[in-house]
Amino acid sequence: MTRYIDQMLYMELVLMQEEPGVPVLTRLRYDAHDPFAVSMVFHTDVNGPVSWSFARDLLAHGVLRPSGQGDVRTWPTGEGADALLNLALSSPHGAARLTAPLAVVTRWLDSTYRLVPMGQETDGLEFDDELSRLLHGAA
């Protein structure tokens, strides 16, 4: 049984309003072992891959309307085939804004909900095992 879903795409790093963006090869990843999260791995030539993980629900809301606060914010712009998902990321090391084709992200996101439907994220989790793993990993 498939336990993860990957999608490769080019996102565009937005530099300035009037300047063209920089394409960034990106891997969207969803792993059913971490059912509440999605990750994006940005393949950069400068520092190697950069990975961000955040709530799947944040992305699901962000393809429809502005969502998120703080480190990760998402919002849609445009309509039809030209619609984009905007992703704003910030950390103590800097900030970036990227865009991706909204239809591609939405199709991939829909496939994650087919793998682990909304409301069933905890069905396969063993809380005692997870708690033990977390506690032993912290020691």
Return phi, psi of residue 91, to 5°.
-150, 175
Using one digit for the tens of pLDDT, what is the confidence trace for 36-62?
Answer: 899 999 998 777 899 999 999 999 999
Which domain range does residue 77 map to? Answer: 4-138
User: The pTM is what?
Assistant: 0.81
- How many domains are there within the chain? 1
Residue 21 has what DSSP assignment? P
Residues counted in the chain: 139
Give yes or no for residue 64 having a pLDDT over 60: yes
CATH code of 117's domain: 2.30.31.20
